[in-house]
């Protein structure tokens, strides 16, 4: 059928037809025509599309495939030829059985060993949360349109409670299942949601079994947390340098003031552009008193013109650098940036004293406090 199946068959012959204890998949795909391909993909890089590894064929509403043993679990995905969407699962040295629904592939089911049973619990909670939040948002929109502020506040409080419970669920999963790949997934989600402090995230991550931390996703998360720990409040800001709009090299050290803002942004980032007028007002007010800004752009390769136009259009008259590498920017990676806008406020010694302070009033107040203390 395929190279991997051939290898698995050879191993069976060489071991006297012993039962294969490796990784295999099987499933039902009722209503899907014979001959349609089922593709197996794995996550290789965070924030990248899964990489297609192999395929098998549907015959009489069923499919199956055998693979060599895996050393560690990973995120796997099944796709069916001609159907949009993927079925998420965790690769493990068990048979993983699927029920594929042609008209709703996202509702398809998986059944396997411990890793996938925990994944089912995790996914069921996620689906329940999404359903509740979606319903609440519709109700909030109705309350907003009818100007019912009391009901709107009640609904917002309910949503906050739901999200807080979701964070607790994810923390519990990670702390009680130290050998589970789902624990890494939960920590990645908590990082995205900013659900707990970086310190607590790293402590929980460090407590996981080495096998889980050494998975592709686990290793990527570990690097991310290491970077973020280095940029926590109270840490000395990592030095960096990058190309200016004029093509010269500028370092953080040479851009420092009594107070310095490191501003991660991009011309394509709408929230960044909306925040820029607030930063401009604060800069104009405090620059003569010692405020400096160095902006690090995550603009895309071959889009220097858009970066420069945004600087001009928004009146950003301070220091700028960019490697024009989008999310692969080495400065952004050093600072653990996963979303923009992102800002760090440094004192005169380069120590991070605050971060992500937004809005003219809040930013004005914080910068004013820091500079007044230096008079």
**How many Cα atoms are found within 13 Å in the side-chain-facing hemisphere of 350?**
12
pLDDT band at 18 (very low <50, low <70, confident <90, very high): very low
Specify the pLDDT at position 5: 35
Specify the pLDDT at position 47: 63
- Cα–Cα distances in angstroms (integers) from residue 356 to residues 119, 196, 200, 286, 353, in the given order: 33, 16, 19, 18, 11
Tell me the average pLDDT across 210-214. 92
pLDDT band at 11 (very low <50, low <70, confident <90, very high): very low
Specify the pLDDT at position 17: 38
Most confident region among 20-29, 77-86, 341-350 by mean pLDDT: 341-350
Measure the CA–CA gap between 111 and 113, rounded to whole angstroms: 7
Decide which of 216 and 157 is more confident: 157
Query: Which residues have a Cβ under 8 Å from the Cβ of 252 and sit 6 or more positions away?
Result: 237, 239, 240, 241, 260, 262, 294, 350
Which of 351, 342, 347, 157 is CA-nearest to residue 257? 347
- Backbone φ and ψ for 33, nearest 5 degrees, come out as -65, 150
- Backbone φ and ψ for 199, nearest 5 degrees, come out as -60, -50
Specify the pLDDT at position 316: 97
Residue 246 above 60 pLDDT?
A: yes
Residue 375 above 70 pLDDT?
A: no
Tell me the average pLDDT across 205-224. 91
Residue 349 above 90 pLDDT?
A: yes
Specify the pLDDT at position 102: 86
Tell me the average pLDDT across 80-95. 91
Q: Let me know how many helices (H) and strands (E) the chain has, helices first.
A: 11, 15
Specify the pLDDT at position 295: 98
User: Tens digits of per-residue pLDDT, 146-159?
Assistant: 999 999 999 999 99
Specify the pLDDT at position 12: 34
Contacts 24+ apart (CB under 8 A), 129-133: 129/162, 129/163, 129/166, 132/162, 133/159, 133/162, 133/163
Residue 44 above 90 pLDDT?
A: no
Residue 6 above 80 pLDDT?
A: no
Specify the pLDDT at position 21: 57
Domains of the chain, with CATH numbers?
3-111 (2.60.40.10), 116-229 (no CATH), 241-372 (3.40.30.10)
Residue 15 above 60 pLDDT?
A: no
Residue 374 above 70 pLDDT?
A: no
297 - beta bridge partners?
Answer: 265, 322
The answer to whether the bond into 341 is cis (omega within 30° of 0) is: yes
User: Tens digits of per-residue pLDDT, 316-330?
Assistant: 999 999 999 999 999
């Amino acid at each position: 059928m395929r190279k991997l199946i051939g290898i698995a068959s050879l191993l069976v012959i060489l071991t006297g037809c012993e039962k294969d204890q490796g990784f295999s998949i099987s499933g039902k795909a009722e209503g899907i025509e014979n001959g349609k391909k089922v593709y197996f993909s794995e996550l290789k890089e965070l924030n990248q599309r899964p990489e297609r590894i192999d395929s098998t064929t549907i015959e009489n509403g069923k499919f199956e495939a055998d693979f060599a043993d895996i050393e560690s679990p990973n995120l796997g995905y099944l796709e069916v030829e001609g159907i949009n969407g993927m079925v998420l699962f965790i690769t493990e040295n068990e048979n993983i059985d699927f029920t594929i629904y042609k008209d709703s592939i996202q509702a398809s089911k998986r059944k396997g060993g411990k890793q996938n049973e925990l994944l089912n619990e995790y996914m069921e909670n996620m689906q329940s949360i999404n359903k509740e939040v979606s319903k609440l948002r519709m109700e909030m929109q109705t309350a907003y349109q009818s100007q019912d502020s009391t009901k709107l506040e009640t609904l917002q409080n309910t949503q906050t409670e739901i999200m807080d419970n979701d964070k607790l669920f994810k923390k519990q999963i990670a702390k009680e299942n130290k050998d589970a790949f789902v624990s890494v997934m939960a920590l990645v989600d908590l990082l995205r949601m900013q659900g707990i402090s970086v310190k607590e995230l790293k402590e929980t991550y460090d407590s996981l079994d080495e096998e889980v931390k050494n998975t592709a996703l686990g290793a990527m998360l570990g690097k991310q947390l290491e970077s973020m720990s280095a940029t926590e409040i109270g840490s000395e800001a990592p030095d960096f340098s990058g190309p200016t709009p004029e093509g010269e090299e500028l370092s953080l050290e040479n851009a420092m003031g009594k107070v310095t803002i490191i501003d991660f942004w991009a011309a394509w980032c709408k929230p960044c552009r909306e925040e820029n007028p607030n930063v401009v007002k604060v800069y104009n007010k405090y620059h003569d008193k010692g405020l400096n800004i160095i902006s690090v752009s995550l603009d895309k390769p071959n889009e220097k013109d858009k970066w420069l136009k945004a600087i001009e259009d928004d009146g950003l008259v301070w220091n700028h650098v960019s490697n024009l590498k989008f999310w692969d920017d080495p400065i952004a990676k050093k600072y653990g940036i996963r979303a923009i806008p992102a800002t760090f406020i440094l004192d005169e010694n380069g120590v991070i004293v605050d971060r992500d302070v937004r809005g003219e009033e809040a930013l004005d107040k914080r910068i004013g406090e820091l500079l007044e203390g230096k008079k």
